[in-house]
Amino acid sequence: MDLRGYACFLRSSGIAQLRTSPPWFVWSSGQQSPIYLDHRRLLGYPTWRRWVVEELHRLILQQGVEPRGVVGVATGGIPWAAWLGERLGLPVGYVRPQPKPHGYGQQVEGLRPSAAPVLIVEDVLSTGQSLHRATQALAQSGYAVGAAFVLWSYELPQLPSFSFPLYRLLTFPQALLFWEMEGLITQQDKAMLLSWIRGGPSGKLG
């Protein structure tokens, strides 16, 4: 099991779905996209799930990141933060898109600021807005962020700037290369998708 095998698994299992003509997928941001990645379905594959956690753990050790807590970005990052926190033996929490409207009205759950610096875990990085909002919420609640790890990055241009290192397990351009090598995508479709990536959030689709 390696990164190439993982990328091909995402495609062959249908977790990563492509469309080369309309109707396009629509993300929660309202952006139209030729690809949709449903990482929730990855939770149902224990072997690859464990591989992802071990790879994230390896990257953390490789980069010399020494967090005192792990925070998942709701909702996609929560299970990965929980498994990674267990692997590291660290406290785990999560950050909501906005404060909850009842109880203590907290936006950051499960950790105290003394558990900082924290490691943020997000499943998919597209425009970067959800990660940016999570970072702001953590800062407002008194947490210092040491690094962020994402399972998949589209590598769209004009991401927000972050004051901490951002590490990716797999990027869309890497996946396209692996898919072409394995015959899972045509060269023509790969070129169209790379052009869409370079166009960023406002990239035109035919």
Written as six digits, the tokens of 118 are: 């924290």
Q: What span, in angstroms and rounded, lies between the C-alpha atoms of 33 and 56?
A: 27
Average pLDDT over residues 85-92: 96
Domain span at 34: 3-202
pLDDT over 70 at 203, yes or no: no
User: How many domains, in total, are found in the chain?
Assistant: 1
Residue type, 31: Q
Give the Cβ contact number of residue 179 at 10 Å: 23
Query: ∠ at Cα 115 (96, 168), nearest 5°?
Result: 60
Lowest mean pLDDT among 15-19, 71-75, 155-159, 182-186: 155-159
Written as six digits, the tokens of 157 are: 């241009």
Q: Quick one: pLDDT at residue 205?
A: 62
Q: Return mean pLDDT, the chain.
A: 91
Kindly report, residue by residue over 137-156, the tens digit of the pLDDT: 999 989 999 999 999 999 99
CATH code of the domain in which 154 resides: 3.40.50.2020
